């Protein structure tokens, strides 16, 4: 036998590479699932900021017309607007808690498509609200799109984690947060007063959510369901293998299929994971605690507070209203750029490392920002320092704390426990978001700029928690991660 022939024989016998790279089909599935879902989450978070005054004036006129031209109290308008804004997070809480049920019944891809039907209804209601002089339609529409966003926040990272090869799991998981930041920026740009932020066009601004909704309906049906869900939940081995071959762009998927079959066999001897089991079994309770804490760390880090306070800081720096708007756009752009950077860093540095870097930088930065805000009215140059600290805070958040919590939950649990764990973690995230949204303004009125001292204390505790409790999941199989929790449960 010739040497050339021997080399060929060895190549034939060599096992297929365990981790496949990015290919066109996988990229298509990532875009189809992430764009249509994460866009709703980010866009509807940011879209109400720019046209706030316009919509409040319209609400006032609607109430006045209904009451025969009577004068409308400002507090009444403020209350209605606050409900319209907050109802989005309330819907998100409900959607987040429904994730497990929807993921089990319809699948990850199927659940996203079912959830997407809410986008059509919400877009229609908000789009015709001005025509029918009904602010109630905006409230109902925001509630429905909140449920959709809550479901998306659980289903999309779950789908992305389950279709990704192990070596790309972190990068692909970061895509969800990347699209969130892009969509917030898009909502800020479209909301400018010379684009759609006008008395006539703001209903279009609210109704534009239909565009990513249509995109998902057109593209996602061409993608396979999560191979893990197909194999483990539907017991369809051949269909799961075909889906995996489509995603990897190759027929050589034996290693991954063997891993999934091994997981499937191991789960046959484990009873169905219930809430009671989740809260009592140390093997599940420990990763659940980590998942919930990381979600709380993200929302209670002060990111929403800093985003809100940024406008005031820009005004303190004697910026014009237009200048403040563009500074906010610059901050949004910086958020996108740094989240895109974290997409590459997460596989190089690891999850735990980026969380530690992000939270530590936010802790130091918040201390400096709090000090700066004490002197911001005395010295003008300090206001420029405060602007820099706000920008640094956004950068630190985007490095890790912004994106990692969304996909870390999927990495810590097997397929049977993943939907329930995701429901709990995402529900906690939206609840914390809702509480911060309601509580920050009253606290800020009482404490002023000292409100950031609360976040200084919280961030210090978060750094310690991540350092002590959060495992590194980079390039680790589910079995290796489970072994870590098995050891922890014996301590």
- Phi, psi angle pair for 474, to nearest 5°: -60, 125
**Domain 23-223, what architecture?**
Up-down Bundle (1.20)
For the domain made up of 274-490, give the CATH fold: Growth Hormone; Chain: A; (1.20.1250)
Per-residue pLDDT tens digits for 245-274? 999 999 989 989 998 898 888 777 666 778
- Can you say whether residue 134 is alpha, beta or left, with left for phi > 0 and alpha for psi between -120 and 50 degrees? beta
Task: Please tell me the total number of residues recorded for the chain in this structure.
Answer: 491
Give the separation between CA 400 and CA 348, rounded to whole angstroms: 12
Token output for 88 = 């989005």
Given pLDDT bands bounded at 50, 70 and 90, which one contains residue 8? Answer: very low
Give the separation between CA 210 and CA 307, rounded to whole angstroms: 26
Select from 423, 324, 404 the least CA-distant residue to 359. 404
Tell me which DSSP letter residue 124 carries. Answer: H
Q: Which of 100-109, 222-231, 376-385 has the lowest mean pLDDT?
A: 376-385
Task: Map out the domains of the chain as residue ranges.
Answer: 23-223, 274-490
Share of the chain above pLDDT 70, in %: 93
Q: How large is the angle between the packed helices 404-412 and 282-299, nearest 10 degrees?
A: 180
Mean pLDDT of all residues in 365-390: 86
Distances (CA, A) of 103 to 100, 106, 165: 5, 6, 21
Are both 23-223 and 274-490 of the same fold? yes
Given pLDDT bands bounded at 50, 70 and 90, which one contains residue 437? Answer: confident
Given pLDDT bands bounded at 50, 70 and 90, which one contains residue 315? Answer: confident
Q: What is the pTM of this model?
A: 0.88
Share of the chain above pLDDT 90, in %: 56
Per-residue pLDDT tens digits for 444-475? 778 877 888 999 999 999 999 999 999 988 88
Distances (CA, A) of 159 to 175, 366, 422, 477: 12, 35, 12, 17
Residue with tokens 């609840």: 431
Other C-beta atoms closer than 10 Å to the C-beta of 140 total 19
């Amino acid at each position: 036998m010739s040497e050339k022939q021997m080399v060929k024989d060895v190549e034939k016998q060599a096992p297929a590479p365990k981790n496949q790279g990015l290919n066109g089909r996988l990229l298509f599935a990532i875009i189809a699932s992430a764009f249509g879902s994460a866009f709703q989450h980010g866009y509807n978070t940011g879209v109400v900021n720019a046209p706030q005054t316009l919509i409040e004036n319209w609400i006032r006129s609607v109430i006045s017309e209904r009451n025969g031209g009577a004068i409308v109290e400002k507090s009444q308008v403020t209350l209605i607007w606050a409900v319209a804004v907050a109802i989005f997070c309330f819907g998100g809480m409900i959607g987040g808690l429904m994730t497990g049920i929807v993921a089990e019944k319809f699948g990850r891809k199927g659940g996203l498509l079912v959830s997407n039907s809410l986008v059509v209804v919400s877009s229609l209601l908000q789009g015709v609200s001005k025509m029918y002089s009904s602010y109630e339609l905006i409230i109902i529409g925001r509630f429905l799109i909140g449920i959709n966003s809550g479901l998306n926040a659980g289903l999309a990272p779950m789908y992305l984690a389950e279709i990704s090869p192990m070596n790309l799991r972190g990068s692909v998981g970061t895509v969800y947060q990347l699209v969130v930041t892009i969509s917030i920026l898009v909502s800020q740009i479209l909301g400018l007063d010379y684009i759609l932020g006008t008395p006539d066009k703001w209903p279009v601004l609210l109704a534009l959510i239909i565009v990513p909704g249509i995109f998902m309906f057109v593209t996602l049906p061409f993608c396979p369901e999560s191979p893990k869900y197909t194999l483990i939940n539907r017991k369809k081995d051949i269909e799961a293998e075909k889906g995996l071959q489509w995603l990897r762009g190759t027929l050589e998927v034996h290693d991954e299929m063997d891993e999934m079959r091994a997981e499937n066999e191991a789960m046959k001897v484990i009873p169905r994971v219930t809430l009671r089991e989740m809260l009592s079994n140390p093997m599940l309770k420990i990763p659940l605690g980590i998942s919930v804490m990381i979600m709380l760390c993200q929302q209670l880090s002060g990111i929403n507070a800093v985003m809100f306070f940024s406008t005031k800081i820009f005004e303190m720096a004697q910026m014009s209203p237009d200048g403040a708007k563009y500074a906010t756009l610059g901050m949004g752009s910086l958020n996108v750029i740094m989240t895109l950077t974290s997409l590459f860093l997460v596989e190089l540095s690891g999850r735990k490392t980026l969380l530690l870097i992000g939270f530590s930088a936010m802790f130091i930065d918040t201390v400096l920002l709090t000090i700066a805000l004490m002197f911001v009215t005395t010295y003008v140059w300090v206001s420029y320092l405060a602007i820099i600290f706000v920008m640094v805070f956004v950068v630190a958040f985007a490095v890790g704390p912004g994106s990692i919590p969304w996909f870390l939950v999927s990495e810590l649990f097997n397929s049977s426990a993943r939907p329930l764990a995701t429901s709990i973690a995402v529900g906690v995230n939206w609840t914390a978001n809702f509480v911060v949204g309601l509580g920050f303004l009253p606290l800020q009125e009482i404490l002023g700029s000292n409100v950031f001292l609360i976040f200084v204390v919280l961030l210090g505790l978060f750094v310690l928690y991540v350092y002590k409790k959060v495992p590194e999941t980079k390039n680790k199989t589910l079995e290796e991660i489970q072994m870590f929790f098995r050891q922890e449960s014996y301590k």
